[in-house]
Structure 1
Amino acid sequence: MSQTSETVLEIDLAALEHNYNYMRSKIGASTKMLGVVKAFAYGSDSVKIATRLEKLGVNYFAVAYTKEGITLRKGGITKPILVLHPQSSNFEEVIAYNLMPNIYSKYTLNTFITTAEKLHQKNYPIHLKINTGLNRLGFSIEEIDWIVNKLTTTQSTKVEGIFSHLGASEDTAEKDFTLLQIKNYQKALDKILPQLAYKPICHLCNTSGIINYPEAHYDMVRTGIGLYGYGNSAKEDKNLIPVGTLKTLISQIHHIKKGESVGYNRGFIASKNTKTATLPLGHADGINRIYGKQKTSVLINGKLAPIIGNVCMDMLMINVTNVDCNEGDEVILFGKEKSAEEFANNAGTISYELITSISQRVKRNIIN
């Protein structure tokens, strides 16, 4: 990695390839892999990430919203793209860009069939979402007969996939809940599959499900956070490489006397003479106020320096009293040398929130 002269999110595609191959090693040769590239590919660059994954052989992609799928299509991505939370107002665009909608309710199924028939579609592929306990999106098992009856009234759609989502597959304390979700999913399949004249793709496992519940891999697995270098446990994190490294530099160094304050609302008051550094990024860049007041630290020249006071919109300040550093020196907030999981956990949040929050005004630098 090169010394930075500005705030930048360095995206390492070699790390992505390593993570992809590791997740592949956890599944059978015939099991398909879906790469989740929603939210700008977890805060990085969805087109660059998807392009590399497509070359590596990923079978499917998933995004949250229709606009994200359109971005991938315009970026040259040709593999199937599942839209996990489509809105009915976007169904015509879904079809226009050859995206696959997640159909999760009677309303969305009725609306999509109406749209597909209006556009003279035949056997347009959809995925059905089954609610197995997360209680966020999805049909209940009791609605399956209604679904099948509805599908038999039209030739406009065809079920490409049936899936659900595990809510706590990384949490060993919630193993019974996860096993219940798997059981509920299988109950749904046992009810719906005999009523179809074809076999859809069945998929349930997320990253932690892939690692912890190999018996539930079915026809396809979905991996998001694992691709970006985080395995939801310290053990698995060692097998993965963070794809993104957020780097900046020291803009100015101050020598603060005992009793003086730093930042808005005097968020830090020096208990002794203190050396501080100001960095050119803040909550408008995704480093939110929750990270201030010494809850977490950054890395400078191999040493940790806590964030002090209140994070500003465009700047934050750190305590570098015990760090040998100068203006212009590089600062790492998270990445290979300092985990986003650690940075986030120290402030009471999770790596998912941190890495997906990095603002689009932060320059993305693609390497490897």
Structure 2
Amino acid sequence: MEIIHETILELDLNKLANNFNYLKSKLNSDTKIIAVVKAYAYGHGDIVIANSLEKLGAHALWVADFEEGTRIRKSGVKIPIIIANSGTKSTQQIIENKLDIVIYNFELLHLYGKLDKEIRIHIKFNTGMNRYGFDPSVVDELIADLQRYPKLKIQSICSHLAASDNSTEDGFTNEQFHIFEKVSSSFSKGVNQFIDRHILNTSGVLRFPKREYEMVRLGIGLYGVNNDNNLHQVSTLKSVLSQVRAIKKGSKVGYDASFLAKEDMIIGIIPFGYADGLNRKLSVKNGVIIVQNIPCPIIGKISMDSCMINLKGITAKTGDEVVIFGEENTISSIANKLSTIPYEILSSLNRRIKRVYSC
């Protein structure tokens, strides 16, 4: 396929498969995998990724809202698609597209229950993160209300770990497990059937394998962003030098004349800026772009649609390839420079960037 876009996000589906299978190898053979593809599959492009994960054997997909779920369902995906936050105005789309929903408060329970339609639901409990979820103290009231709505088909009980990747908070994480197991047991007894449970994310699978229960939710690890060396980053973000410019000592570069050349320089201009997802703080946080395997510092303030780099020591020309992130300048290393998390880097990537898949 001829590539006509200057900036592309290359996605290696073989690496996606290897990451999926590696994480699967950490689980019991009958543990079900829910693959998280919310936020445009963490910026990777949800349609191709969702269909690939279905073929790899994912039991279900997890998305943020009904729009994400509807788009993926209409692409041909057959496995369950779970909506984490269905909201109150999307009931018709949920039903028409056969989407599962997470029920985390009584308002949602009564809204969907009174529709008198068969809907697959997942009950979420708050075990300490204090975001979404029923508090364990209301489990008896919840069970009583569920009995009023026999067409709501309970598929699982879930919760969310707040710090599974942070060993200094393992005491808190273990307390979450304790609360989850206790409320899950009470709930299953109350509804008189065993209900599948899930609380582990990628870090949870790698650090707390005895808590996998019947299901797990795999997200960032599928895309290869984790400290485990067996997981490999799926994505490489590339662009080109759209102009190469010689400037004199004393010249200024970028908005606010923010960079002053201390010597004669060769600089490169790249058609990729903060509107595309290049965090503007990299202007002053030692951001680099890779050219000919050499890290080139970003100079001047990053613009909306472009940035400039120092090409010192490199013989480069217009049209040469550059790597914004990849194996040499990883998403995790960029996140560390920005004192943020890889999730933010990936989910900030503009959809105007062409996604190119290989396998």
Q: TM-score range by the shorter chain?
A: over 0.9
Q: Does 1:192 align with 2:187?
A: yes
Aligned residue number for residue 140 of structure 1:
135
TM-score (normalizing by structure 1) = 0.94
> In the alignment, what sits opposite 1:334?
325
Query: Does structure 1 conserve the Cα–Cα contact (< 8 Å) formed by 2:285 and 2:337?
Result: no
Which amino acid in 2 is paired with 1:67?
A: E
The question of 1:100 aligning with 2:100 is answered yes
Q: 2:26: which partner in 1?
A: 26
- Following superposition, the deviation at residue 5 of structure 1 comes to 6.1
- The answer for the alignment partner of 1:217 in structure 2 is 212
- Give the corresponding residue for 1:248: 239
- Specify the SS of the correspondent of 1:88: coil
Task: Report the equivalent of 1:315.
Answer: 306
Distance 1:86 1:158 in 2: 16
Residue in 1 that maps onto 2:256? 265
Identity of aligned residues (%): 37
* 2:90 partner SS: helix
Deviations 1:32-53 (A, max 9, x none): 1110011111101111111111
Matches within 5 A, 1:33-52: 33-52=33-52
Q: Does 1:297 align with 2:292?
A: no
Letter in 2 for 1:365: V
Distance in structure 2 (CA, Å) of the matches to 1:258 and 1:175:
54
CA deviations 1:218-262 (Å, max 9, x no partner) are 00011110011112x2xx0x2112111110010111222222211
Q: Which residue of 1 aligns with 2:315?
A: 324
Task: Please report the RMSD computed on the Cα atoms of aligned residues, expressed in angstroms.
Answer: 1.6
SS in 1 for 2:309: strand
The CA distance in 2 between the partners of 1:257 and 1:294, in whole Å, is 24
Q: Is 1:154 aligned to residue 146 of structure 2?
A: no
Q: TM-score scaled to structure 2, two decimals?
A: 0.96
Q: CA deviation at 1:20?
A: 0.5
Deviations 1:262-286 (A, max 9, x none): 1111121222222211001111111
1:353 aligned onto 2:344 = yes
- Give the structure 2 partner of residue 82 of structure 1: 82
> Residue 114 of structure 2: SS of its match in structure 1?
helix
d(CA) in 1 for partners of 2:313 and 2:342? 27
**Is contact 2:5-2:354 (8 Å) kept?**
no
- 2:58 matched to which residue of 1? 58
Letter in 1 for 2:128: G
* Structure 1 residues not aligned, in runs of 5+: none
Contact 1:83–1:102 (Cα < 8 Å) also in 2:
yes
Asked whether 1:168 is paired with 2:163, we answer yes
1:365 to 350, 356, 359: 356
Q: Is the 8 A contact 1:4 1:248 kept in 2?
A: no
The one-letter code sitting in structure 2 at the alignment partner of 1:135 is: N
The farther-off stretch of 269-278 and 208-217 is 269-278
The structure-2 alpha-carbon separation of the partners of 1:346 and 1:286, relative to structure 1 and needing over 3 Å to count, comes to same
Farther-moved stretch of structure 1 (8-17 vs 252-261): 252-261
SS in 2 for 1:365: strand
Deviates most, 61-70 or 269-278: 269-278
Contact 2:114 2:149 (8 Å CA) reproduced? no
Q: Please give the per-residue CA displacement for 1:166-217, whole angstroms capped at 9, x wherever unaligned.
A: 1110111111111111111112112211111222220000010010001110
Query: What secondary structure, in the 3-state scheme, does the structure 2 residue paired with 1:295 have?
Result: coil
Gaps of 5+ in 2: none
Preserved contact between residue 168 and residue 174 of structure 1 (Cα < 8 Å): yes
Report the residue type matching 1:239 in the other structure: N
Answer with 192-201 or 321-330: which moved more.
Answer: 321-330
Is the contact made by 2:7 and 2:240 (CA closer than 8 Å) also made in structure 1? Answer: yes
Following TM superposition, by how much is the alpha carbon of 1:103 offset from its aligned partner in structure 2, in angstroms?
A: 0.5
State the AA in 2 paired with 1:284: A
